[in-house]
Amino acid sequence: MKVFLLLFFGCLAFISRAQYLNMGIDMHTSLQDQKGKFKNAYGITLGYEHFLGRSPFYAVVDISGSLYDYKEMEQELPGPNGHITHQQVEYISMVSLFNGGIGWAPLHKKNVSPYLAVKGGYIKYRTVMNLYDANDPHGCRPEDRKNILRDFTPVAVASSGVKIKLAPQSCVSRLDFGVNYITGESSKYLRMRKSEEPVAPNADPYLVKFEHIETGQVHAHPLGDVYTTKTSQLQFYIKAVMSLKH
């Protein structure tokens, strides 16, 4: 908690000196070990920049949050007596990225300004699984109606893109088109599946405990697959850049 408070107040201090704020949309797509396991994620990204004197170098911090899975589905769960409980489950899976570092934009005063940046930070995966009451007196009920799986890992980020200057009268000074290459260590994330389907290769079942209402017997059902892989992604983005300089 202390680390997050320190980061928060550090961000506020940096924003007070920032020259540019940006906001836009993004898309994550997976590479290497995550290919086929991590779905494309779509969300928003926020950031700010401050050029270091008259040099082409600038400090940059970016934060993004993206949704990579959302669905409500019915799971058919057989109980100890063979009775099938029709359990409604809501899955919400998100990925968040916090990173900061140094960028280089040798033509930042021109109408078209390419740039490069290197950053470090962390990526966080989070899935919330809500289980609704099946209202089945002969079936099973979940011990916990909300189950959360989360994990994070440090990452290194390499950025490349181009900023295009807009009309001087516009509140948005530039449009930023770019991509982040994100690489990091191993972390866990969930991908939903039907309970009766087999566990995916190289995955572990995500087991949720249920209680049989009539007998009180506790047992578990698999309601998803948990992957543990290294992070390897591309994050494409389009941002509107607003100047705070007067």
Considering only residues 143 and 186, tell me which one the structure prediction assigns the higher pLDDT.
186
Q: Higher confidence at residue 141 or residue 170?
A: 141
Segment 124-140, tens digit of pLDDT: 999 999 988 777 788 88
pLDDT at 6: 46
Among 103-112, 200-209, 231-240, name the most confident range. 231-240
User: Which pTM was predicted?
Assistant: 0.84
Average pLDDT score over residue span 90-104: 94
Q: Which two tokens stand for residue 28?
A: 């994550």
Counted domains in the chain: 1
196 located within any domain = no
- pLDDT-derived band of residue 167, with 50, 70 and 90 as boundaries? confident
In a domain, 162, yes or no: yes
What CA–CA distance (Å, rounded) separates 144 from 239? 40
Of 123, 157, 162, 156, the closest CA to residue 38 belongs to: 123
Confidence grade of residue 238 (pLDDT, cut at 50, 70, 90): very high
Residue 222 included in any domain: no
- Residues 29, 62 contacting (CB under 8 angstroms): no
Average of per-residue pLDDT across 9-37: 77
The neighbouring-strand residues paired with 102 are 59, 118
Secondary structure of residue 237 in the 3-state scheme: strand
Give the residue numbers spanning the domain of 58: 2-190+228-243
Percentage of the chain lying above the pLDDT 90 cut: 48
pLDDT(219) > 80: yes
Q: Are the C-beta atoms of residues 211 and 133 closer than 8 Å to each other?
A: no
Contacts of 162 (CB under 8 A, 6+ apart): 112, 113, 114, 115, 176, 177, 178
The enclosing H or E element of 135 equals: none
CATH of the domain at 115: 2.40.160.20
In a domain, 129, yes or no: yes
Is 209 a member of any domain?
no
Residue 229 confidence (pLDDT): 93
Separation of alpha carbons 222 and 95, rounded Å: 22
**178 is a domain residue:** yes
Instruction: Note whether residue 61 is domain-resident.
Output: yes
